[in-house]
Amino acid sequence: MTDRTPKRRFRSRDWFADPARADMTALYLERFMNYGLTPAELRDGRPIIGIAQSGSDLAPCNRIHLDLARRVRDGIRDAGGIPIEFPVHPIFENCRRPTAALDRNLSYLTLTELLYGYPLDAVVLTTGCDKTTPAAIMAASTVDIPAIVLSGGPMLDGWHEGELVGSGTVIWRSRRKLAAGEISEDEFLDRACDSAPSAGHCNTMGTASTMNSIAEALGMALPGCAMIPAPYRERGQMAYETGRRIVDMAYEDLRPSAILTRESFLNAIRLLTAIGGSSNAQPHIMAMARHAGVDLAPRDLTDHGYDLPLLANVQPAGEYLGERFHRAGGVPAVLWELLQAGKLDGDCLTCTGRTIAENIEPCESRDREVIRPFGDPLMEKAGYLALSGNLFDLGILKSSVISDEFRRRYLSRPGAQGVFEGRAIVFDGSDDYHHRINDPALAIDEDCILVMRGAGPIGWPGSAEVVNMQPPDALLRRGIAWLPTLGDGRQSGTSDSPSILNVSPESAVGGGLSWLRTGDVIRVDLNVGTCDALVDAAEIARRGAEAPPLLPESHSPWEELFREKSGQLADGAALEFALKYRGIAARTPRH
């Protein structure tokens, strides 16, 4: 246990033991008494530890935290802290309309205000569903009080008729089967329900598992925390240990600013490749880094992650699900592979007070089918490729999910290795796509690229996961299950073809997609990372002078404010004005 002299005076003292304003103490204290706390507990100098509760009935992916909080409290009490649990703005990825992407920044803003404005000395960030993790880390960075991530963990592995069915992946695969007439709507629903067999978040390496794994790689969670399935007994034990540890962190004054460095973010980028993590990690990594004041560019994803191999055999890039990944050793075992290969900066400080290398050593995979050795990976060069060209400054492509068939069909043409061209079919939002995808007049064939625009942070608003478009039914019936896609929105799940995602700047702010027309030829060169429409400069200028596309109106106050303040996906779609507030807990709010 850490020395019980706080390295820095606990800020809660300014509420409960401020000699200059003794008249205020009673007011600050008295209402906490009404549920049985005693004045001594809040006044005898122990740290007050927030538990930022992200679970609720409205946030089922994180709901396990309602139970886990009891074990967190036990840990905090045993280590000599006072727990104070409070709700954070819920985010439920699959259900929030028009898109949960609006709420990462809202959750960030509100949590920032709570951590700043109340007498909290340190905080346990309970995370799970996709955006709950980056939102919490962004807020902890802005306030900069000691903070530790407690993941809720994925659901148990899903099974349907003897086959593994993973969250999200089951939906995209079943949709194709439904469209091709292979399954009924009832069967679709059965498969989806079977993919969700317990408490927890998505059991695939979707955004939730990705972001919790990244939190661990950043050093913000105890080793092994990310992937313990929610119902496992180890999850409750991890909650207890996390509660204990945050109290020490409060005494040590170990804050996010000491843990979140450029080096720790580069480690996170390396892990992202090795686990085949979600493309949503790109904006979330950027937003977390920028709020932490870390100098990181979207290109760092390619510069530091592209050449690395895929090691985790987990859907959607691989075969298995979270439970088996955890049993194989989870994130520490993957980090261990990277460390052994000299691809991890082992010196990064973590929430344990030790370096990441000290945390994981030795941590060999227990199941080589699921976590492969660095020298015998599932795929070489499996990272994200940053693309640019006349259509956009940044789009990203997840190479680990490009199928062998695509590589054969498009990328292996004699004299044009790694290059493909396609005729653009442009859709203005997903309604337009659904109305027109089966229109025979579009004459969509296997040489087309499906383009989605109007789906970025300002255009949607929030930015929607709608770039993964399936081909017209006629093509599906001919066995063509996918086409290359491109768009200024994001993608959920995966397809087997290259999806060029998160294109920035988006069409709604005049990015290149705004002048693109159906029928234009797009050329993608993966060797040099370019994507251009083969349209000459004079024609681009002529089209650019035409009226810009109409923006849909905002439907809620927050939508309007979000659009006014949000940046582009390339830069994390953060609230740009908020970036200048960092370390605000150093100043006590006025009485």
The residue with its CB nearest to Mg ion is 492
Name the segment binding Mg ion (CB under 5 A); options: 118-126, 282-290, 484-492, 532-540: 484-492
Binding partner of 129, given Mg ion, ligand FES, none, CB within 5-8 angstroms per partner class: ligand FES
Query: Which member of 49, 61, 292, 444 binds ligand FES (CB under 6 A)?
Result: 61
> What character string, x for contact with ligand FES (CB under 6 A) and - otherwise, covers 504-543?
----------------------------------------
Q: Which is nearer to ligand FES, 65 or 372 (CB)?
A: 65
Binding partner of 492, given ligand FES, Mg ion, none, CB within 5-8 angstroms per partner class: Mg ion
Q: Which of residues 270-299 bind ligand FES (CB under 6 A)?
A: none
| Residue 256 β-bridge partners | none
Q: How far apart are CA 154 and CA 169, in angstroms?
A: 15
**What is the 3 state secondary structure string of 428-480?**
EHHHHHHHHCCCHHHCCCCCEEEEEECCCCCCCCCCCECCCCCCCHHHHHCCC
How big is the CA angle at 121 (ends 238 and 37), to the nearest 5 degrees?
A: 85
In this structure, what token pair is assigned to residue 501?
A: 């995602």
SS3 state of residue 404: helix
Provide CB contacts within 8 A for 395, sequence distance 6+: 386, 387, 388, 486, 500, 501, 502, 503, 504, 531
Query: Of all helices (H) and strands (E), which one includes residue 149?
Result: strand 147-151
Q: Which is nearer to ligand FES, 129 or 260 (CB)?
A: 129
Q: Smallest Cα–Cα separation from 96: which of 150, 149, 135?
A: 135
Q: Smallest Cα–Cα separation from 288: which of 108, 149, 450?
A: 108
Count residues near Mg ion (CB under 5 A). 3
In this structure, what token pair is assigned to residue 130?
A: 């996709």
Answer yes or no whether residue 202 interacts with ligand FES by CB under 6 A. yes
Residue written as token pair 């439970």:
323
Which segments within 517-561 are labelled E, that is strand? 521-525, 530-533
Contact yes or no for 105/96 (Cβ under 8 A): no
Q: Which is nearer to ligand FES, 16 or 92 (CB)?
A: 92
Provide CB contacts within 8 A for 257, sequence distance 6+: 141, 144, 292, 293, 582, 583
Answer yes or no whether residue 208 interacts with ligand FES by CB under 6 A. yes
Name the segment binding Mg ion (CB under 5 A); options: 199-207, 282-290, 483-491, 546-554: 199-207
Q: Which is nearer to Mg ion, 205 or 535 (CB)?
A: 205
Greatest Cα pair distance, the chain, in angstroms, is 82
Name the segment binding ligand FES (CB under 6 A); options: 198-206, 211-219, 378-386, 473-481: 198-206
Contact yes or no for 469/452 (Cβ under 8 A): yes
Name the segment binding ligand FES (CB under 6 A); options: 40-48, 199-207, 427-435, 540-548: 199-207
Query: Which member of 11, 29, 68, 93 binds ligand FES (CB under 6 A)?
Result: 93
Q: Which is nearer to ligand FES, 372 or 490 (CB)?
A: 490
How big is the CA angle at 240 (ends 139 and 56), to the nearest 5 degrees?
A: 55
Q: Which is nearer to Mg ion, 206 or 377 (CB)?
A: 206
Binding partner of 61, given ligand FES, Mg ion, none, CB within 5-8 angstroms per partner class: ligand FES
Q: Which is nearer to Mg ion, 151 or 267 (CB)?
A: 151
**Least Å distance between CB 465 and Mg ion?**
6
Name the segment binding ligand FES (CB under 6 A); options: 202-210, 229-237, 249-257, 326-334: 202-210
Q: Which is nearer to ligand FES, 167 or 267 (CB)?
A: 167
Name the segment binding Mg ion (CB under 5 A); options: 207-215, 357-365, 453-461, 538-546: 207-215
DSSP state of 122: E
Q: Where are the alpha helices (DSSP H) in 292-355?
A: 300-305, 322-328, 330-340
Provide CB contacts within 8 A for 214, sequence distance 6+: 133, 268, 271, 272, 277, 281, 284, 285
Answer yes or no whether residue 90 interacts with ligand FES by CB under 6 A. no
Q: Which is nearer to ligand FES, 49 or 208 (CB)?
A: 208
Query: Which member of 201, 284, 291, 398 binds ligand FES (CB under 6 A)?
Result: 201
Residue 314 dihedral angles phi and psi, to the nearest 5°: -125, 140
Query: Which member of 99, 127, 133, 207 binds Mg ion (CB under 5 A)?
Result: 207
Q: How far apart are CA 544 and CA 516, in angstroms?
A: 10
**Least Å distance between CB 130 and ligand FES?**
6
Residue 118 dihedral angles phi and psi, to the nearest 5°: -115, 165
Q: Which of residues 122-181 bind ligand FES (CB under 6 A)?
A: 129-130, 167
Q: Which is nearer to ligand FES, 59 or 574 (CB)?
A: 59
Name the segment binding Mg ion (CB under 5 A); options: 17-25, 295-303, 490-498, 551-559: 490-498
**Least Å distance between CB 466 and Mg ion?**
12
**Least Å distance between CB 130 and Mg ion?**
5
355 sits in the region (left: phi over 0; alpha: psi -120 to 50; else beta) called beta
Amino acid sitting at position 128: G
**Least Å distance between CB 18 and Mg ion?**
45
Name the segment binding Mg ion (CB under 5 A); options: 79-87, 203-211, 359-367, 558-566: 203-211
**Least Å distance between CB 197 and ligand FES?**
14
Query: Which member of 468, 492, 566, 568 binds Mg ion (CB under 5 A)?
Result: 492
Q: Which of residues 486-505 bind ligand FES (CB under 6 A)?
A: none
Q: How far apart are CA 87 and CA 471, in angstroms?
A: 42
Residue 180 dihedral angles phi and psi, to the nearest 5°: -85, 0
Answer yes or no whether residue 55 interacts with ligand FES by CB under 6 A. no
Q: Helices 233-252 and 65-78 sit at what angle, rounded to 10 degrees?
A: 50
**Least Å distance between CB 337 and ligand FES?**
25
**Least Å distance between CB 536 and ligand FES?**
44
Name the segment binding ligand FES (CB under 6 A); options: 201-209, 217-225, 281-289, 420-428: 201-209
Residue written as token pair 């000395």:
121
Binding footprint of Mg ion on the chain (CB under 5 A): 206-207, 492
Binding footprint of ligand FES on the chain (CB under 6 A): 61, 93-94, 129-130, 167, 201-202, 206, 208
